[in-house]
């Protein structure tokens, strides 16, 4: 094993759907809260995830579809309420893996709002400016909104392998979604289904 590709939500960062729902309800965006409750990834959420619209367009569409008067700042804050924390233990483990000689990557279905907030959670933002996609922790990050592709589309895995120059059989992919795992495995990538957020931390044989 030479390369490790991590998912973000449910693997490195905690997710709290109810906190996000409550935040959207609090600013009068009940219909968006219902999207979150049902875990819908179509329409508005798919558009922002695959980079078809930007943050400003996302916020404008939230106001249009809900008839709310929330500001961009309030909408972004409510959406980022989905993300909870990246523990010191997880951050330390990422550093240890890189020191041990592994190439460590991030592959996430995400958007600019969540990525900026994630960089804050990782401590990779100084004076509002990101630190080259958190180079302290990752050799490279691959984000759906930049690639205009999202998991479980097998093409996003093909692009990661190609752009990073990785051999599938030398690469481990860790994700909490079974469909994503199956798509990666179809290319010969080794996989681990992380059914509880910190399970991967306690699998002693996972990185051997």
Within 10 Å of residue 5's Cβ, how many Cβ atoms?
27
N-term to C-term CA, the chain: 7
SS (H, E, C) the chain: CCEEEECCECCCECECHHHHHHHHHHCCCHHHHHHHHHCCCCCHHHHHHCCCCCHHHHHHHHHHHHCCCCCHHHHHHHHHCCECCCCHHHHHHHHHHHHCCCEEEEEECCCHHHHHHHHHHHCCEECCEECCCCCCCCCEEEEHHHHCCCCCCHHHHHHHHHHHCCCHHHEEEEECCHHHHHHHHCCCCEEEECCCCCHHHHCCCCCC
Across-strand partners of 13?
9
pTM > 0.95: yes or no: no
Q: Taking CA 136 as the corner, what is the angle to CA 130 and CA 140, rounded to the nearest 5 degrees?
A: 80
At 112, list the tokens.
């600019």
- pLDDT per residue of the chain (208 residues) written in tens, 0 to 9: 899 999 999 999 999 988 998 999 999 988 777 767 665 555 788 899 999 999 999 999 899 888 889 999 999 999 999 999 999 999 999 999 999 999 999 999 999 999 999 999 999 875 444 556 899 999 999 999 999 999 999 999 999 999 999 999 999 999 999 999 999 999 999 999 999 999 999 987 888 7
């Amino acid at each position: 094993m030479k390369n490790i590709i991590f998912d973000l939500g449910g693997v490195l960062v905690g997710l709290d759907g109810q906190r996000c729902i409550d935040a959207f309800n609090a600013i009068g965006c009940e219909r968006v809260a219902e999207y979150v409750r049902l875990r819908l990834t179509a329409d508005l959420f798919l558009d922002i995830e695959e980079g078809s619209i930007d943050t400003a367009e996302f916020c404008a569409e939230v106001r249009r579809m809900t008839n709310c008067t929330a500001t961009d700042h309030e909408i972004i804050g409510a959406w980022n309420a989905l993300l909870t924390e990246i523990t010191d233990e997880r951050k330390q483990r990422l550093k240890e893996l890189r020191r041990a000689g592994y190439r460590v990557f991030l592959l996430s279905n995400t958007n600019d709002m969540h990525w900026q907030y994630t960089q804050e959670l990782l401590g990779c933002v100084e004076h509002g400016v990101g630190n080259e996609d958190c180079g302290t922790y990752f050799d490279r990050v691959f984000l759906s909104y930049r690639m205009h592709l999202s998991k479980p589309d097998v093409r996003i895995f093909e692009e990661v392998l190609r752009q990073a120059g990785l051999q599938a059989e030398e690469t481990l992919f860790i994700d909490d979604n079974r469909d994503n795992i199956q798509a990666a495995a179809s290319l010969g990538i080794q996989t681990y289904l992380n059914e509880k957020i910190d399970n991967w931390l306690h699998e002693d044989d996972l990185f051997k």
